[in-house]
């Protein structure tokens, strides 16, 4: 996948099959969850500002790209820990380990992380790229109030 809002995969290095290392583009700003935890600890004002809106827009760009592929790709584990930031606070999505192309047959139930998981995924029902949009809504809530859903 080649998109400016998806972390660039460089390659794989290994000494043995048990010592694999994935090499990706360096994102010096860390992950969004760590940033928001710091905001909460420092009483950073809640609400959406320009910086947070830009992060959200960048994630939207990544999802739009994934969902517009043929066949569409569903990330299936979109969460604040899987959104990395560079020094300029530009966001990129990572962790495509459980993503897959959307097919008409039944998709695997229960994949992803529960706090960000769409109800239809949890219930083992048929789902599509809208499951990523549910997860994105949870990320928007995190951007707004800095905390995880309860």
Per the annotation, the verdict on 104 as an active-site residue is no
Q: What residue spans of 49-146 are helical by DSSP H?
A: 50-68, 119-122, 130-145
Among candidate residues 2, 19, 31, 77, the one labeled active-site is 77
DSSP letter assigned to residue 126 = -
Euclidean distance between CA atoms 115 and 113, whole angstroms: 6
Task: Output the six-digit token pair for 132.
Answer: 């990523």
Nearest to 65 by CA among 128, 146, 2, 130: 2
CB-based contact 37:146 (threshold 8 Å) = yes
Handedness of CA 122, 123, 128, 130 (dihedral sign): negative
Q: Which residues are catalytic?
A: 77
């Amino acid at each position: 996948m080649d998109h400016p809002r998806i972390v660039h995969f460089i390659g794989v290095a290994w000494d043995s099959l048990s010592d694999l290392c994935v090499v990706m583009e360096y994102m010096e700003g860390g992950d969004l969850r760590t940033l928001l935890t710091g905001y909460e600890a420092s009483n950073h004002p809640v609400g959406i500002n320009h910086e947070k809106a830009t992060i959200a827009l960048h994630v939207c760009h990544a999802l739009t790209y994934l969902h517009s592929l043929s066949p569409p790709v569903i990330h299936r584990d979109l969460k604040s820990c899987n959104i990395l930031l560079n020094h300029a606070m530009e966001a990129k999505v990572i962790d495509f380990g459980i993503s897959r192309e959307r097919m008409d047959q039944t998709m695997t139930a229960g994949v992803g992380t529960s706090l960000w998981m769409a109800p239809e995924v949890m219930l083992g029902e048929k789902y599509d790229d809208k499951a990523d949009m549910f997860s994105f809504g949870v990320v928007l809530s995190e951007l707004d109030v800095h905390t995880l859903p309860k």
